[in-house]
Copies of this chain bind each other. A is one copy, B any other.
Amino acid sequence: MEKIPYKIYLEEQEMPTQWYNVRADMKKKPAPLLNPETKKPVTLEELSHIFCAALAKQELDDQTPYIDIPEEIRNFYRMYRPSPLVRAYCLEEKLQTPAHIYYKFEGNNTSGSHKLNSAIAQAYYAKKQGLKGVTTETGAGQWGTALSMACSYFGLDCQVYMVKVSYEQKPFRREVMRTYGAKVTPSPSMLTEVGRRINAEFPGTTGSLGCAISEAVEAATTQEGYRYVLGSVLSQVLLHQSVIGLETQTALKKYGIKADTIIGCAGGGSNLGGLISPFAGEMLRGEADYEIIAVEPASCPSLTRGKYAYDFCDTGKVCPLAKMYTLGSGFIPSANHAGGLRYHGMSSVVSELYDQGLMTARSVEQTEVFKAATTFARVEGILPAPESSHAIKVAIDEALKCKETGEAKNIVFGLTGTGYFDMYAYQKFNDGQMSDYVPTDEELAKSLASLPTV
Instruction: Identify which of residues 127-148 in chain A touch chain B, using a CB-to-CB cut-off of 8 Å.
Output: none
Judge if A179 is at the interface, Cβ distance under 8 Å.
yes
Q: Mark A376-398, 1 if CB is under 8 A from B, else 0.
A: 01111111000000000000000
Judge if A49 is at the interface, Cβ distance under 8 Å.
no
- Identify the interface centre among A172, A418, A426: most chain B CB within 10 Å of its CB: A172
Q: CA of A228 to CA of B78 in the docked complex: distance in angstroms?
A: 42
Judge if A64 is at the interface, Cβ distance under 8 Å.
no
Q: B426 to A179, Cβ gap below 8 A? A: yes
Instruction: Identify which of residues 18-49 in chain A touch chain B, using a CB-to-CB cut-off of 8 Å.
Output: none
Q: A378 to B152, Cβ gap below 8 A? A: yes
Residue from B110, B426, B427 in contact with A377 in the complex, judged by beta carbons closer than 8 Å: B110
A369 to chain B minimum Cβ distance, whole angstroms, is 14
Q: List 6 A-B contacts (CB under 8 A).
A: A6-B78, A7-B78, A116-B381, A179-B377, A180-B378, A420-B421
Q: Other than A79-B90, A112-B420, A179-B430, give 8 A-B pairs with Cβ distance below 8 A.
A: A9-B9, A79-B381, A149-B378, A171-B423, A172-B427, A176-B423, A178-B430, A420-B421
A140 to chain B minimum Cβ distance, whole angstroms, is 14
Instruction: Identify which of residues 174-190 in chain A touch chain B, using a CB-to-CB cut-off of 8 Å.
Output: 175-176, 178-181
Judge if A355 is at the interface, Cβ distance under 8 Å.
no
Q: A383 to B110, Cβ gap below 8 A? A: yes
A81 to chain B minimum Cβ distance, whole angstroms, is 9
- Identify the interface centre among A116, A379, A381, A426: most chain B CB within 10 Å of its CB: A381
Neighbouring B residues of A109 by C-beta, 8 Å: 381-382
Judge if A406 is at the interface, Cβ distance under 8 Å.
no
Judge if A80 is at the interface, Cβ distance under 8 Å.
yes
Judge if A416 is at the interface, Cβ distance under 8 Å.
no
A156 to chain B minimum Cβ distance, whole angstroms, is 12
Q: A172 to B379, Cβ gap below 8 A? A: no
Judge if A153 is at the interface, Cβ distance under 8 Å.
yes
Can you list the 6 inter-chain pairs with the closest CB atoms, starting with the nearest? A172-B423, A6-B78, A175-B423, A420-B420, A110-B383, A152-B378
